[in-house]
Amino acid sequence: MAALLEVEGLTKSFGSLRAVDSASFAVEDGSITALIGPNGSGKTTLFNMITGYLSPDGGHVRFGGREVTGAASGSLYGRGLTRTFQQARVFTQLTVEENLTVAAGYSWRQLFGRRLSRADRERVAVLLEEFRMSHVADLYASELSYGQRKLLEFAAVLMSQPRLVLLDEPTAGVNPVMIATMEHHIRERHGAGVTFLIVEHDMPFVMRLCDPVVVLDRGHEIFAGPPHAVQSDTRVLDAYLGS
Ligand SMILES: Nc1ncnc2c1ncn2[C@@H]1O[C@H](COP(=O)(O)OP(=O)(O)OP(=O)(O)O)[C@@H](O)[C@H]1O
Ligand SMILES: [Mg+2]
């Protein structure tokens, strides 16, 4: 497998805090790669730099063999790199169906004028069906449970037909049934050729789903390898036990 995403020496400081400290790792095309690490180890900051929400102080990001360091989030979205947020971001004042529609790049004006291409209308319908959300299609996102909002956010990023999806804690604050649903949808899309990089604290979830696992500690990668090796790695144990 070739690397779809390469992160090399990525660095970001907030004042005197080096939140990400020369982090390097690769995400192979076709993998479900986990990025784990203790609270505050820089996972979300890394996601923000990779996806164009924060500019790095140093280092490189390559996507599909091309340098994309510092590229804007919209341009990366167009190239097939997208993400979800630790606190689900959906438009609460729009319906479920409208959330999927705006994710296809339509302006709100087009949305209400219903000038959608047939292909996009069909994609919305397919996603509503696939995510079993047809019965809530006309509900406002504000009326959904937190877990359903996370699911909607995931469905919405799929509107762009991405090659790589970054998920920031997809199961946090979500009930066990919804966790299983989320896992099911990740597996389905992975089977259809989408590559994933997933930040997650739920270790059983990571062990079931992800290979390889990259571990970040104080902004730097300290381990990258198969899930069975991560639990017995002394550097990883030390990082989690805080020694
Ligand atoms: N905008 C910011 N300004 C100042 N400090 C920040 C900012 N964003 C993150 N930090 C700090 O950078 C460090 C890394 O934060 P980050 O959110 O990337 O960690 P994380 O690994 O995602 O943690 P968690 O598992 O709790 O989500 C933390 O010490 C955090 O307080
Ligand atoms: Mg985080």
Which ligand neighbours the alpha carbon of 36 most closely?
A: 1
Hey, which residues does 168 pair with through a beta bridge?
A: 199
pLDDT for position 243: 54
pLDDT for position 195: 98
Q: Decide: 183 and 209 in contact? Cβ < 8 Å.
A: yes
pLDDT for position 136: 96
pLDDT for position 115: 66
d(CA 210, CA 171): 14
Using the atom order of ligand 1, give the atom closest to the CA of residue 46: 18
Does residue 212's CB lie within 6 angstroms of at least one atom of ligand 1?
Answer: no
Does residue 43's CB lie within 6 angstroms of at least one atom of ligand 1?
Answer: yes
Q: Ligand 1 pocket: which of 7, 13, 14, 16 to mutate (most atoms <8 Å of CB)? A: 14
More confident residue, 199 or 107: 199
Which ligand neighbours the alpha carbon of 49 most closely?
A: 1
d(CA 80, CA 106): 17
pLDDT for position 127: 93
Which residue type, as a one-letter code, is found at position 16? Answer: S
Q: Decide: 125 and 24 in contact? Cβ < 8 Å.
A: no
64-118 per-position pLDDT tens digit:
999 999 999 889 998 999 999 988 889 999 999 999 988 877 666 666 666 677 8
Q: Which of 226, 175, 232, 240 lies closest to 32 in space, CA to CA?
A: 226
pTM of this prediction? 0.94
More confident residue, 118 or 186: 186
Peptide bond into 162 cis (omega under 30): no
132-185 per-position pLDDT tens digit:
999 999 999 999 999 999 999 999 999 889 999 999 999 998 999 999 999 999
Tell how far the Cα of 43 is from the centroid of ligand 2, in angstroms.
5
SS3 content of the chain, % helix, strand, coil (to 5): 40, 25, 35
Does residue 40's CB lie within 6 angstroms of at least one atom of ligand 1?
Answer: yes
Using the atom order of ligand 1, give the atom closest to the CA of residue 216: 21
Assess whether pLDDT exceeds 90 at residue 51: yes
* Closest C-alpha to ligand 1, atom 4: 14
Burial of 14 (0-12, 13-18, 19+ CB in 10 A): exposed
Q: Which of 123, 118, 175 lies closest to 149 in space, CA to CA?
A: 175
Q: Decide: 166 and 84 in contact? Cβ < 8 Å.
A: yes
- Average pLDDT over every residue of 53-74: 95
Assess whether pLDDT exceeds 80 at residue 122: yes
Mean pLDDT value across the chain: 92
pLDDT for position 120: 82
The fraction of the chain above a pLDDT of 90, given in percent, is 80
* Strand pairing report for 213-217 and 195-199: unpaired
Tell how far the Cα of 44 is from the centroid of ligand 2, in angstroms.
4
d(CA 172, CA 19): 22
pLDDT for position 113: 60
**Least trusted range by pLDDT, from 27-31, 63-67, 158-162, 220-224:** 158-162
Q: Domains in the chain, please, with CATH?
A: 3-241 (3.40.50.300)
Give me the torsion for CA of 166, 171, 176, 181, rounded to 10°.
-20
pLDDT for position 8: 98
CA torsion sign, 136 to 190 to 52 to 58?
A: positive
d(CA 106, CA 115): 9
Using the atom order of ligand 1, give the atom closest to the CA of residue 15: 4
Q: Which of 159, 164, 165, 162 lies closest to 116 in space, CA to CA?
A: 159
- CA contacts within 13 A on the Cβ side of 171: 22
Assess whether pLDDT exceeds 70 at residue 28: yes
